[in-house]
Amino acid sequence: MEYPSLSEIDKIYALQQKNTAEIKQLPASKREQLLRKLLTKIKEAENEIQAALYQDFHKSALESTITEILAVEMELKHIIKNIGKWTKDKSVGWSAMFTNVKAYLHYEPKGHVLIITPWNYPFQLPLVHLAACIAAGNTAILKLSEFSPHTNRIVKKILQEVFPEDHVAVLEGEVKETTHLLSLRFDHIHFTGSPAVGKIIMEAASKNLTDITLELGGKSPAVLDRNINVRRVVQNLIWAKFVNAGQTCIAPDYVLVPRQLKSEIEQVFREELREAFGRDAINSPDYARIINKKQFDRLVEALTDAKHLGAQVISGGATDEKELYIEPTVIGQVAMTNSLMTEEIFGPIFPIVYYSQIDEAIKFINDREKPLALYVFSNDGIFNKHVIRYTSAGSTCINDALIQIMHPKLPFGGVNNSGIGQSTGWYGFRAFSHERAVADAKGFPLSKMFWFPYSERTHKFVQWIRKIFG
Ligand SMILES: NC(=O)C1=CN([C@@H]2O[C@H](COP(=O)(O)OP(=O)(O)OC[C@H]3O[C@@H](n4cnc5c(N)ncnc54)[C@H](OP(=O)(O)O)[C@@H]3O)[C@@H](O)[C@H]2O)C=CC1
Ligand SMILES: CCCCCC(=O)O
């Protein structure tokens, strides 16, 4: 994909601005029709999508289906199934003081939306958020990351087959193009990316008081109890951490393990990683690559520095610059000053931090920014509830990982430094809609009791209200 010039961006923006009023009036049936067409196009393009993801990431066809294509298909089906219900006015019920008022919520499109997405799930993320945006009746400019060019091409091809550019436009660009887009006025900006860039987006949005959704990241902990099946939990963590070579926003970033389990868990990680990827993961057909040299160098430097500071590699540690390959790596005794413990890892390196009492682990988590996700593993429900009660996270999974994002009725989002607002399903539709309060007064207008000049009748009415409702 070519980068558009700034004047081309302005032209697309103006085109969509002109068309937004009309798109906002599209009935739910027409929006549903467009989403059904999108679903059909995606199914028809599965092989091309898999090939593009392989070229960008060396992502296996099966992993692309599981984490990219199926995720979009399920989201589209859920939206298509519910769009009729979601777009209808919603009564908020009766109130004794407003017996003559029909009170309801009316869902109106925000209008013109900017969606900015990162490179790590370059098919799933643009399409999942665009689907909700279209369902809500908006026009949208979709700005993709320049680091996933092959997948971007198929995303653009599919969307151009479904939507005219004055409804959905797909752009690729770097900081310059994105910065220019952010100087334009939108009704909602949906950003997925790092907290650092999230702050830039929020600042730009503040110029026009534009609504935002910030889907950010952070260091998502996994907390293990002693009361677990160690092998099963390790197998679970291996998938959650090393899918997409660890380049997943809700991947467990590090794992807090009871000290008593140290020797057992380290041995089981060695065994299970061998089971998962064979003797040499570089030859595994299931294992992806780091997206580019910049990210590769960042991770290798963090690993090298960690080892210089005394960290012990429990399993893995091999790298291959030509292949942009980093072996699935589990590491212990990482210094707290090392970037593996101070920054979001966003790669296939898994520090283990040992603890003695659960409140020590909870303090470790709470001493850091609120994470995007938090994982708790224990056969003891009281342990799980205790961890949830004394921590905060965007989302949480108990005795599993990542799957919370796939549940159609759970919102996806962070909290404070890991995100603002919620996405997917009903929550995505609501984010891209304005939830308008309507009070439809029938017959005698309630405010007549307060009209000027204030009278004895008004005083009596106010006394009655305080007596009944005060
Ligand atoms: N909550 C969620 O759903 C998800 C969160 N993430 C988070 O995203 C991060 C990894 O993705 P990554 O792409 O590196 O994140 P970045 O924040 O670097 O980039 C995200 C998007 O913002 C653009 N961008 C980068 N710098 C600027 C800037 N200065 N001004 C305007 N736009 C900019 C990028 O464009 P370009 O790439 O072209 O530079 C990209 O489209 C991690 O923190 C991860 O946790 C990732 C996936 C999902
Ligand atoms: C299968 C998990 C996908 C998580 C979304 C993300 O990291 O972008």
Distance 397 CA to ligand 2 centre (A): 14
Distance 217 CA to ligand 1 centre (A): 9
192 lines ligand 1 (CB under 6 A): yes
120 lines ligand 2 (CB under 6 A): yes
Distance 81 CA to ligand 1 centre (A): 31
Do 384 and 429 sit in the same domain of this protein? no
The closest residue, in CA terms, to atom 39 on ligand 1 is 174
- Report if residue 447 sits inside a domain: no
Do 277 and 391 sit in the same domain of this protein? yes
Q: How many CB atoms lie within 10 A of CB 457?
A: 12
Do 187 and 235 sit in the same domain of this protein? no
Q: Tell me if 64 sits within 8 A of 52, measured CB to CB.
A: no
Query: Which amino acid, one-letter code, is at 341?
Result: M
86 lines ligand 2 (CB under 6 A): no
| This prediction's pTM | 0.97
Distance 83 CA to ligand 1 centre (A): 29
Q: Tell me if 390 sits within 8 A of 368, measured CB to CB.
A: no
Do 236 and 185 sit in the same domain of this protein? no
Beta sheet of 395-398, edge-to-edge order: 312-315, 329-332, 349-355, 254-258, 221-224, 373-377, 395-398
Q: Tell me if 120 sits within 8 A of 291, measured CB to CB.
A: yes
pLDDT number for residue 379:
98
**Of the candidates 222, 218, 319, 308, which has an alpha carbon nearest to the alpha carbon of residue 265?**
222
**Of the candidates 340, 369, 343, 370, which has an alpha carbon nearest to the alpha carbon of residue 352?**
340
* pLDDT over 90 (residue 1): no
Catalytic (active-site) positions? 215
- Report if residue 197 sits inside a domain: yes
Go through 27-64 and write b for each residue having 16 or more CB atoms within 10 A of its CB, e for each that does not: ebeebbebbeebbeebeebeeebbbbbbebbbbbbebb
**Of the candidates 258, 243, 266, which has an alpha carbon nearest to the alpha carbon of residue 376?**
258
Give the CA count within 13 Å in the CB-facing half-sphere of 292. 8
Give dist(CA 437, CA 414) in Å, integer: 26
Could you read off the pLDDT of 349-380 as tens digits, one per residue? Answer: 999 999 999 999 999 999 999 999 999 999 99
- Report if residue 470 sits inside a domain: no
Going by pLDDT thresholds of 50, 70 and 90, the confidence category of residue 99 is confident
189 lines ligand 1 (CB under 6 A): no
The closest residue, in CA terms, to atom 13 on ligand 1 is 118
Could you read off the pLDDT of 451-467 as tens digits, one per residue? Answer: 999 999 999 999 999 99
Q: Is 297 left (phi over 0), alpha (psi -120 to 50) or beta?
A: alpha
Give dist(CA 439, CA 92) in Å, integer: 10
pLDDT number for residue 470:
82
Q: How many CB atoms lie within 10 A of CB 356?
A: 10
Could you read off the pLDDT of 142-177 as tens digits, one per residue? Answer: 999 999 999 999 999 999 999 999 999 999 999 999
Could you read off the pLDDT of 415-450 as tens digits, one per residue? Answer: 999 999 999 999 999 999 999 999 999 988 889 999
Do 262 and 318 sit in the same domain of this protein? yes
Do 161 and 241 sit in the same domain of this protein? no
Q: How many CB atoms lie within 10 A of CB 358?
A: 18
Tokens of 186: 């939108």
Helix intervals (H) in 214-279? 230-242, 262-277
87 lines ligand 1 (CB under 6 A): no
Q: How many CB atoms lie within 10 A of CB 374?
A: 23
Give dist(CA 207, CA 194) in Å, integer: 21
Judged by DSSP in three states, 445 sits in coil
Q: Which of 248, 346, 372 to mutate to test the pocket of ligand 2 (most atoms within 8 A of CB)?
A: 248
Do 200 and 227 sit in the same domain of this protein? no
DSSP state string for 50-88 = HHHHHHHH---HHHHIIIIIHHHHHHHHHHHHHHHHHTS
Do 277 and 358 sit in the same domain of this protein? yes
- Report if residue 206 sits inside a domain: yes
pLDDT number for residue 419:
98
Ligand nearest to the CA of 3: 1
* Number of domains forming the structure of the chain: 2
Distance 294 CA to ligand 2 centre (A): 21
Tokens of 177: 């193009």
pLDDT number for residue 444:
86
Do 33 and 182 sit in the same domain of this protein? yes
- Report if residue 252 sits inside a domain: yes
For the chain, state the CA radius of gyration: 25
Do 204 and 255 sit in the same domain of this protein? no
Percentage above 70 pLDDT, the chain: 100
Go through 201-234 and write b for each residue having 16 or more CB atoms within 10 A of its CB, e for each that does not: beebbeeeebbbbbbbbbbbbbbbbeebebeebb
Q: Which of 410, 444, 460 is the last residue of a domain?
A: 410
Q: Which of 142, 192, 344 to mutate to test the pocket of ligand 1 (most atoms within 8 A of CB)?
A: 192
When mean pLDDT is compared across 128-132, 140-144, 465-469, the lowest value belongs to: 465-469
217 lines ligand 1 (CB under 6 A): yes
Going by pLDDT thresholds of 50, 70 and 90, the confidence category of residue 43 is very high
Q: What is the CATH number of the domain that holds 238?
A: 3.40.309.10
Could you read off the pLDDT of 256-286 as tens digits, one per residue? Answer: 999 999 999 999 999 999 999 999 999 999 9
231: containing domain = 221-410
Do 166 and 200 sit in the same domain of this protein? yes
